Structure 1
């Protein structure tokens, strides 16, 4: 389980606004004649690290569990799944703040004072890090268990099903397909990371830490190969495959959208096919 105690979306929204006010002032605040830009680079690194903390704090709400420690004389459960509407709100926040291009972190007037290149790789690491945490087997296992337990003893409270979460995630990450829009380079990188992580769920089995560590770090044990995770992931890949094929047949992707976008989508189809139908070399 993952212990949650506040409104992560609200807190992170305010936190991001503060970061976005800070970044345009970093050059001025660190300026000192005769000094290099080491202080600027360090502060910029602290900003991106804080961004990462905000995003991961929100991500914990998806498949998250509230902990209310009690003794036998106190009524009610100790562990309660985060309500479905809060989980959806968390995912909506991440779609908007974590999975779109962070232009406010990419000002060349700032970046080119301490590096000649590296921004794309930094954004890739940040974004795919959040995405991979969302698609962690333990998180999916908690969503599945909440649904299964509610089917046995319904509480009347809506459960955020794993299938709904995966569909919502796919719809957001690949929203350009419905719009017939060009896909920018950083978004293309993130979409490849999504396909890659689904591929990992189809082939890899997570290693369980020792029981003592599992309880401390909130690790949720799951045997992926025997759970519903792989059927759900296979279904997501098949749906995405179909959506990309349909998009490529429509006018925007056949005529007006840039070549890099079309090549990206064609490449995604090949990657998905390799996952769904692996062949020996």
Structure 2
């Protein structure tokens, strides 16, 4: 938690270091009693990964966020001011270097070989997809649009935000030689799933009494379409630099998927498939792969395959 200096990036960096220490203790801490199953080991691994997701989402909250201070008539200053562009960009950069890089310190064959025959790749995807889905939350995007509309170039522009996220997810494309492993391929496919939902998902319906303007400016779909076109161009340049058949097949498949995402013939909209918009802040209950009790102030999340 960012207690004291309220620096979410700094506090989360320290939190991750603590989790890395915990990861080294899991096996000795849960295997002291001979003859016992490895249930505690599996449970603690899932909870550790769940804590990692919560801490990464702590950083994601800076994007599109506001600094608030209680104000009354006669007091100087504003009650709400956008988080500075520099802090928001730093948050996305931190996530690119921590949340969207495979957390190898969580992938210990000595642990995984004791608790499951398969599931490590899916477990990491679920965790990373949870952070990615939260970061690309439509409410967050709407706040970025409004911040730019009100405050101009001093804010973190939505197009810049989406570009930064795309580059973080697809950072291999800028290298001279390209290899993308199974963990990264999974994350990149999760990104495409999110983009597809933004472009081709059903338009939400508002609860009764909520003004239509709450839906925002309608920029989300065209901006994501532009991101898909930019990604397709980058992949076209990158394919000749691939170093193995798996990476080439993955990138060629991604280009095919982008073409389908951008072609309305492949994405018919159901006549009665509207989604009711939930009003509120970003909701961790909606994040894929997390199961937990969210009725308390301190939810207890577990990441499972």
TM-score above 0.5? yes
- For 1:192 and 1:269, the matched residues in 2 are separated by 11
2:156 maps to 160
1:278 Cα deviation from its structure 2 partner: 2.7
Q: Which runs of 5+ in 1 are unaligned?
A: 152-156, 213-219
Q: Is the 8 A contact 1:98 1:130 kept in 2?
A: yes
Q: Which runs of 5+ in 2 are unaligned?
A: 269-305
1:28 maps to 28
1:34 Cα deviation from its structure 2 partner: 2.3
1:201 maps to 198
1:206 Cα deviation from its structure 2 partner: 3.7
Alignment size in residue pairs: 258
- For 1:211 and 1:70, the matched residues in 2 are separated by 28
- For 1:189 and 1:206, the matched residues in 2 are separated by 28
- For 1:192 and 1:170, the matched residues in 2 are separated by 12
2:38 maps to 37
RMSD: 2.0
- For 2:117 and 2:259, the matched residues in 1 are separated by 37
Match of 2:179 among 164, 170, 182: 182
1:11 Cα deviation from its structure 2 partner: 0.7
1:64 maps to 65
1:110-259 to structure 2, matched below 5 A, reads 110-151=111-152, 158-179=154-175, 180-204=177-201, 205-208=203-206, 221-223=214-216, 227-248=218-239, 250=240, 252-253=241-242, 257-259=243-245
- For 1:182 and 1:52, the matched residues in 2 are separated by 26
1:271 counterpart = 2:271: no
1:15 Cα deviation from its structure 2 partner: 0.6
- For 2:44 and 2:238, the matched residues in 1 are separated by 42
1:261 Cα deviation from its structure 2 partner: 0.6
1:25 Cα deviation from its structure 2 partner: 1.5
Deviations 1:199-239 (A, max 9, x none): 11112234546779xxxxxxx9425xx51112211111111
1:14 maps to 14
1:195 Cα deviation from its structure 2 partner: 1.4
TM-score, structure 1 normalization: 0.86
Report which of the two has the higher share of helix: 1
1:217 maps to none
Q: Is the 8 A contact 2:178 2:238 kept in 1?
A: no
- For 2:190 and 2:63, the matched residues in 1 are separated by 19
- For 2:198 and 2:209, the matched residues in 1 are separated by 23
Q: Is the 8 A contact 1:61 1:82 kept in 2?
A: yes
